[in-house]
A and B are shown apart, each in its own frame.
Chain A
Amino acid sequence: MIFTLPFIIWGYAFRSFYSAAKGLLIMADARLAFTFLNHYLNQVLRGVYPFWNPFNAWGRPDDHVVRNFAELNPAWYLIPFLKQCGLPTSLAFFVCWVGFFFLGVIGFYFCARLVLKDKLYAYAAMILLLFSGLGTNLFNDILVILIFVPGVWFFYFLLVFTRTFRPQAFVGLTFTAMLLAITYIPFIFATVFLTFAASFVFLCSAQTACLARRFSGFFRARKWLVVICCLSLVFAALPGYFYSQAARSGDYIATWRDSGGLNADIIELSLENAQRGGAIIGSLSLRRLFSELDTIPHLGFIYVPIFWFLLATLGLIAPIRKRTLFLFSVSFFLFCLSLSGVFPLHGFLFRFLPFIRSNRNLHFFIWFAMPFFILFLLTQLQAVFAQGPRRIWQTTAGSVFILAVHGGWYLFLIPRGHVLVSSFVTIGLSCLFFLLLWHNRLPQRHAVFRLALLAVVALQPLAVYRTVVYNSRKGYDALTRNPPGKEASVPEFSFQRPDKGAVNPQNSPGAASDIFHRETSDTSGFLAPQQYYHGLQAGYALAEAVPAELLSSYVRHKFLLYDEISVVAPGQINYDKLAAALRANRNLAYVEALGPGKGPDLKEGRQLGEKNKDKLPLHPQIIDKENPAFQVLDFDVNHLRFRTDLPARKFLVYNDSYHKDWQAFIDGKRVPLYRANAAFKGMWVPAGKHEIFMRFRPLWRYAFMYGLIGLFIFYAGWALICAGKYCLRALLRSQEDQEKEARE
């Protein structure tokens, strides 16, 4: 009961984040994650893996979008389960996300138990983390939690494995590493882990050599397990690898992520862009560390409870041990990294470590520095309070020190103004708590001790949460109240796109409703302002080169049948000629050759044009509705099936973005697909009745993704069984202890 009480209090404090009438109080990236995850789950439950988005930017791969919420994380399948149990969608999301966060906090408790070797101190560590600012990220920047939770469990399994070398710990280590590999920014955790490892090697070189020997012994003894685990990790990392390859090839760009324009690499950043946003300085105002906490304007604000300062000051006199030094150095290094451009550390690492170049949200490091710092604080406290006073003068000196520390903080806060009353109450309670502890008047094994500790730790954060909720009360997102379900997520097919400006004239990527809209039904494809473009490079280049009004009137039609083509070398499209052809609505498509000798046949296009020049219509045939010559049989996000019955051979341009992974089949036989009119798909369609099928990516990619989903569910199932066994054992052990106590 005492263990679960902090979680109940936290849940109660954050209850306003869900409202049946208003939806979720959610903002920034968490809003996008909600929208994307809802869309993804709906599609997967329909049996469609959403690789392609045909509605946004005239079609683009959806890889980046799914990376935003670690799509393969098995925890997300709790959402449809809860919905099946009758919970509204937004409440199901709320329960799932909060539960996921609690899982991370519990993981931290187990880590702290291993580090501090004391259940009571581990409990203190757990509630310190729970009542920090970390939890507010659930509703603001869920990416932090997506990395944090598996990250914490990774360290737990690492600690267990390095002590016991049990295979279960190795499997746990693999599973958490897999969960980290599927996040959008695994580099953040990689940096944290390298910091941890480097500090360990530097401070404990003797143990490092010993561990290395034991590691190799384990690998030799359990070859098959190691191979299976490594393969699982490689499989889990493959979607991320494919994504990074696509991004590095320059095909896939996000202009908002880098300096904009055609070279906007979606993964690698310039130093200027890496340091531009995300540093903690903005969200960590030194003044707001102590006063004006009632004015925290929004979620995700870095907040350090007053109790942490008290702990740090009390621990000033603690002796430096290797463990203290290790925890301090890791937390301080990560803190310095989170300062980004204002401190030279990030710039220095940026030059020498390639993967640092992919880290943009540098403030994430502060959330990882926090648990290390909590452990450091408690290690200090342990050192101060471990032995207690042995002589009378020590008792007096200790009491004076405790009073001086608390009195000092009290005097420090008074002149600052706008200080929460709860800060002063916390100081008072903390003083009483530590005085009683120093004088051995608090029975440490009794529930009262934990309750008193909980009161001291949680009091000020609860007051801050209250004001944060109040200040962000306008952030309820109407879309989360009743988001589309599986049935409403069937993509709608239409022969025409809306004109530029007709739908989402100024659609900002921050508006969740717009983004969802772009996932299921047609838009003009234009993004305004263009600096938020996120899609294929060719589409961006076309939008930059051809006047928007002209392009809009062209891309409004999805299917055009041309009689004549002009073949250009790969990447050599002349936009002026193309624009002139589009303006004149000429019956001529510009088609890029696939490569030397790979077609399309240059002569074929010319002959057709010259031979029948007089008879050919001046304009291409636009297909705006179904007719006997063109019928759409099946449409989904990843494919299109249609039947044609043309009187003569024509070149079909489908104004959906060209990507090398698209495949085309005529009557089941693979045919070449070309980049036509700079950015779109084009293919020759023979005369007569034919069934044409276009699909994004080969079948094995679908099988692979479903296999991965299965693999993650398998590991999650195994973890659940292990957790169940652990809980059962703990229950039996506590019963035995109780019986033993009763007998005694």
Chain B
Amino acid sequence: MNKRINKNFFTRVQKILYTGLGRCYVLYLLAALILVNGVDHRKVIFKTLDAFRRAEMDVIHQARGKDVMQGFVLRDAIRYYRNIVALIPEVSLAHSLLGFCYYQAREYEKAITHYTKAVELDGEYLGLHYNLGVLYFQTGDYAKAIGQFQKVFEAPVAKTLIYAGLISPFPGTPGHDEESFRASRLKMLKDTYTSASRFIVRGYQQLQMYEPLLKESLKAIRRDLDDKDYFFYHAALAAFHLKDYPKTVQYCSYALEVNPENSRVYDYLGKAFEKQGLKALARDAFARAQALEKRQSAQAAAETEKPPGLFVYVIDAKEYFRQAAIANAQTDKKESAE
């Protein structure tokens, strides 16, 4: 009797097992298991990189100022640099390039994450601080933005020169016009300093911190950067809010010496005259400001809509990637030899 019960039990278990396990999902599970264990993930990254090479070139063109990035290329570029980051996570450049792509895609939070990582890995490069500052500024975190822009001026000069391309870390590139390259890099460096100062000034303005605003504006003027009228204007603005009206008039007049067409300067000049009781002079200044404002409003609107550019040094990324690829190929050769 017991034997019979046992036999029936085992037959039933066997049947249940067959019905349960003899189904196609077992094949899929088996296939998934084989693939998960068999696939070399590092090589997958390299294959994917191969497929998105075009995106890499497009990023370089974009960084050089050519507007070539269509939406789908940008997403490919993000994938490309995500793989680069997976391959060489310890290289700050890789993170910064991925951050650059995210910035282009207007995904500012992700861009900040990668630029922060890049800064952690290499805190001495002004470009990274500048870009992180721009990103904080875009997201409205002005205090952090100002902190990053100030670090732009604290970066070591020698390293800045290397990064800016004035001293090439990979010399001897054939067919390279060194003179014009250096000139363009020098201009880029000066533009970056000017832009960083502008951001600092604008940041303090947004935070309505007029004392540091005045200090930074005057510092920028002393540094002999471009856009002096901009900094004089902000010095005047700060002085006005600090109720130092004679200084306001003084800074406004300096600003108008550089650019006599600045409507906003006339506006503050008028306000300062008004506060000092010089009504006729104030009226003249307001009238002039109004006339100029009409002309300049369209241009100003266009300027505010355009997101600011980033400091880029993508060309060197290719070299890093080449080194990573060589390292990978050597590993492969060793493996195949073994």
Contacts and interface: CB of A to CB of B under 8 A. Distances in A.
Interface of A: 271-272, 277, 279, 281-283, 285, 287, 292, 294-297, 312, 315-320, 324-325, 328, 332, 336, 339-345, 347, 380, 471
Nearest to B18: A319
B23 A292 contact: no
Interface stretch (B32-40, B139-147, B215-223, B256-264): B32-40
Contact of B25 (A272, A317, A342): A317
22 contacts: A271-B336, A272-B333, A282-B48, A282-B50, A282-B52, A285-B51, A285-B79, A295-B75, A295-B76, A296-B72, A297-B76, A316-B23, A317-B24, A317-B25, A320-B26, A320-B27, A324-B24, A324-B27, A328-B24, A339-B39, A343-B38, A345-B38
A181 to B, nearest CB: 31
Nearest to B19: A319
B65 interface: no
Given A282-B47, A285-B48, A318 B39 contact: no
A222 B54 CA distance: 58
Nearest to A329: B27
Which residue, B40, B50, B72, B329, has most C-beta atoms of chain A within 10 A?
B72
B170 interface: no
A344 B38 contact: yes
A408 to B, nearest CB: 14
B72 A320 contact: no
A677 to B, nearest CB: 31
Given A297-B73, A339-B39, A344-B38, A316 B28 contact: yes
A294 B35 CA distance: 28
B22 interface: yes
Contact of B23 (A282, A320, A347): A320
Contact of B336 (A272, A279, A316, A340): A272
A281 B52 CA distance: 11
A317 B21 CA distance: 10
Contacts of B71: 295
Contacts of A332: 31
Contacts of A277: 50
A282 B51 contact: yes
Contacts of B38: 336, 343-345
A364 to B, nearest CB: 16
B43 interface: yes
A281 B54 CA distance: 16
A276 to B, nearest CB: 8
B332 interface: yes
A281 B44 contact: yes
B24 A318 contact: yes
Contact of B75 (A282, A292, A318): A292
Interface in B69-95: 71-73, 75-76, 79
B24 A342 contact: no
Contacts of A285: 48, 51, 79
Contacts of B50: 277, 282
Contact of A287 (B23, B47, B79, B329): B79
A319 B44 contact: no
A363 to B, nearest CB: 10
Interface residues of B, number: 31
A357 to B, nearest CB: 14
Contacts of A341: 40, 43, 47, 332
A167 B289 CA distance: 98
B23 A319 contact: yes
A339 B46 CA distance: 13
Contacts of A297: 54, 72-73, 76
Interface in B294-337: 329, 332-333, 336
Contact of B51 (A272, A283, A339): A283
B44 to A, nearest CB: 5
Contacts of B79: 285, 287
A272 B38 CA distance: 18
Given A279-B47, A342-B47, A471 B72 contact: yes
A269 B267 CA distance: 76
A342 B39 contact: yes
Nearest to A328: B27
* 7 shortest interchain CB distances as A-B pairs: A282-B51, A295-B72, A281-B47, A316-B25, A342-B43, A318-B24, A282-B47
A297 B23 CA distance: 38
Contacts of A296: 72
Interface in B1-41: 22-28, 31, 34-35, 38-40
B100 to A, nearest CB: 20
Nearest to A319: B22
Nearest to A320: B22
B65 to A, nearest CB: 22
Contacts of A325: 27
Contacts of A281: 44, 47-48, 51
Contact of B72 (A271, A292, A347): A292
Contacts of B75: 292, 295
Contacts of B27: 320, 324-325, 328
Contacts of B48: 281-282, 285
A294 B50 CA distance: 21
Nearest to B28: A316
Given A328-B24, A328-B27, 17 more contacts: A277-B50, A281-B51, A282-B50, A285-B79, A297-B73, A297-B76, A317-B23, A319-B22, A319-B24, A320-B27, A324-B24, A332-B31, A336-B38, A342-B39, A342-B40, A343-B35, A344-B38
